[in-house]
Amino acid sequence: MLGSDNPDYLSFCPHGAGRNLSRTAMLRPYKDADGELDPARVQQVLAETTAGLDIRWFSGTPDLSESPLGYKDATKVKAQIARFGLATVVGEIQPQGCIMAGEAPELHWARARREKRAAHKAERCDGVRELTEP
């Protein structure tokens, strides 16, 4: 990209497609009522969005938030760059493969902390119910 120094857009020029949503917001629709990712749904979506791609997960576990679904369509981003006069595309990288970081397994101490907080929250909610019930 060669930036155009467009003062209307603070001379901004994107360097990549970028994320559609934050990782948390992107994963939200794929979680069950308990807030856990639905493994079957994740596998289905990954199969659909990565068909024909050679993607390897560094952690060994697929991470939906790092899949193509998590990122903007590069063609649309280039069209917006041209529309707003942000830059001139002078070259393109055609990836031959991709290694995604993925999400590391939850550490035992982090799981224990999360479970303790959930239990404490449940106890507080039960206490509020007891106070409000006749």
Q: Are residues 73 and 46 in the same domain?
A: yes
Q: Are residues 99 and 111 in the same domain?
A: no
The tokens describing 76, both together, are 């649309």
Q: Report pLDDT digits (tens) over 1-47.
A: 777 777 777 777 776 668 888 888 989 999 888 888 888 898 899 89
The residue range of the domain holding 18 is: 2-103
CA-CA distances (angstroms) from residue 30 to 38, 63, 104? 6, 12, 18
Q: Are residues 60 and 111 in the same domain?
A: no
Alpha-carbon gap, residue 55 to 95, rounded angstroms = 11
Q: What are phi and psi of 31, to 5 degrees?
A: -105, 150
Q: Are residues 67 and 133 in the same domain?
A: no
Q: Are residues 6 and 54 in the same domain?
A: yes
Q: Are residues 99 and 68 in the same domain?
A: yes
The pLDDT assigned to 119 comes to: 92
- The structure's pTM equals 0.55
Q: Are residues 10 and 23 in the same domain?
A: yes
Alpha-carbon gap, residue 41 to 96, rounded angstroms = 27
